[in-house]
Amino acid sequence: MLIPTNRLIMWTAVLLPFWALAALIEQVAFLSALGAGFLFMTAMVDALSAASKVRKIGVSLPAIVRLSCGRESEISLEFRNDDAEEVQVSVGIWLPKEISPRQEVMEIILPGDARASVGTYPVTPATRGKYILNRCFFEISSGLGFWQARSSSPCNTEARVYPDVASERKKMAATFLSRGNYGMHAYRIVGQGREFEKLREYVPGDSYEDIHWKATARRGKPITKLYQVERTQEVYVAMDTSRLSSKKEDGRAVLEEYISSALLLGLAAEKQSDLFGLMTFGSKMDKYIRAGGGKAHFNTCREAIYTVVPEDGSPDYQEAFAFIRNRLRKRSLLIFLTSLGDPVLSESFLESMNLLCRKHLVMVFMNKPADIRPLFSTKLAGDSNQIYRHISSHMIWSNLREIEKSLRRKGILLTLCEPGKLSIELIEKYMQVKARQLI
């Protein structure tokens, strides 16, 4: 496609008075026609040259582009230049509204001594998810500058926007700091390691609780079990992706904080040599990734949840907990990210938790609802509307206190987190569990 430039329009406007004068004076008609013909032929030759040159240029994008939500990233561009001359190309990519470019049109110079060259197109995604980039547009100027030759290339590129874990990781920099073995200090590990190591004969002073009665019966003499401190344990994060996760706090959806906190805990678990697993559930069990370790496993978890969106229905705790009980045979740390503010759903959660709490160590994290506090903990209300608001806040606070006590009787810890502090609270509680050998 050829677009006339301002230079061509300007030259045409300059010759217009002479053409008008040619209609009045016959002596000027020949010169005007000669000038018009020369301009026309020059513009046509320039147009053909630009059309030929733009056909020798091509742009391609990679099949998959990985970006981080809220951070400026770059899309790599691969250019093909069959012409032997250096050329300046203006490039633009069709982008969805969730991805914003730094500049809509980027100027890139293609060298004439290389048929292939690379460039970058900076963009900043605003929302995580998967997007398709269908087409890339580019244009060049003609040799005389009379035309802009435009063309496009189909790309069909898949842009994957992941949650930004780096910004959350900065808050917990000390957890991920690699110090090697320098500055190590011995500290007491509270509790007994639960990982079985071997059997040996009974020695006076051994606890009767550690006697292996079946081995004792087979061998005809007392046999004691020996334990070692557990080094590798399984940690699972179960995220509620129902309608409860669609609420926004401080302008950010609760599910977004769930996802970034879960991935951050996966990095912390790998640092502690633990195995990390992931689950998502709503009205039914959605995703289940068995606990594992390593960079490849972390990438698998990230790929599984970067497109998760909140559902419309309520969570089915009974089905989710039954699924977990049937799949997990080894005692594990189960961390649930959900909301128990609804009295009906919280009652269902308490009833269904009996399926898991006897075998696994369970922790529940939820964002603290805004403005909940006990009655008379703030200044007196000024009008009737404030009285009703204070009573409503007290009822929610009282309900959560009852839920917390009920969960504590089952050996489950409920943590109410301030908005934006979920990842910090999550990793702090996890490190406390590791220090006390509770799993």
pLDDT at 195: 65
pLDDT at 24: 60
CA 27 → CA 12, 23, 296, 401, distances in Å? 21, 10, 83, 102
Using CA atoms, how far apart are residues 220 and 212, in angstroms rounded to an integer?
A: 12
pLDDT at 29: 65
With a CB cutoff of 8 Å and minimum separation 6, the contacts of 70 are: 124, 125, 126, 164, 167
Half-sphere exposure of residue 85: CA atoms within 13 angstroms, side-chain side? 12
Domain boundaries, the chain: 1-162, 167-176+230-436, 195-228
Q: Answer for the pair 44, 2: CB distance below 8 angstroms, yes or no.
A: no
Please check whether the domain covering 167-176+230-436 is classified as CATH 3.30.110.60: no
Q: Give the H or E element holding residue 417.
A: strand 413-417
- If DSSP codes are grouped into helix, strand and coil, which group holds residue 184? coil
- Residue 134, both tokens: 């269908």
Token pair 């987190």: residue: 417
- Residue 230, both tokens: 């557990």
Using CA atoms, how far apart are residues 282 and 346, in angstroms rounded to an integer?
A: 14
With a CB cutoff of 8 Å and minimum separation 6, the contacts of 377 are: none
CB neighbourhood size of 408 (10 A): 11
Q: Answer for the pair 150, 135: CB distance below 8 angstroms, yes or no.
A: no
pTM as predicted: 0.75
- Residue 254, both tokens: 């609760």
Q: What is the CA radius of gyration of the chain?
A: 34
Q: What is the pLDDT along the chain (439 residues), one digit of tens a residue?
A: 787 777 777 877 776 666 666 566 666 566 666 777 777 788 788 788 778 787 888 888 889 999 988 888 888 888 888 776 778 888 888 888 989 888 888 888 888 777 788 888 899 998 888 999 988 888 888 877 777 788 888 888 899 999 888 777 776 665 555 554 444 445 455 555 566 778 889 888 888 888 999 999 999 999 998 876 666 789 999 999 998 888 776 667 888 889 999 999 999 888 888 899 999 999 888 999 999 988 999 999 999 998 888 888 889 999 999 999 999 988 899 999 998 888 888 888 988 888 888 889 999 998 887 777 776 666 666 677 777 777 777 787 888 888 889 888 888 999 988 878 888 889 889 988 887 777 7
- If DSSP codes are grouped into helix, strand and coil, which group holds residue 410? coil
pLDDT at 372: 74
Half-sphere exposure of residue 107: CA atoms within 13 angstroms, side-chain side? 2
pLDDT at 365: 93
pLDDT at 184: 46
Q: Answer for the pair 315, 371: CB distance below 8 angstroms, yes or no.
A: no
Please check whether the domain covering 1-162 is classified as CATH 2.60.40.1120: no
pLDDT at 394: 78
DSSP for residue 380:
P
Could you write out the DSSP letters of every residue in 32-93? Answer: HHHHHHHHHHHHHHHHHHHHHHHHTEEEE--SEEEEETTS-EEEEEEEEE-SSS-EEEEEEE
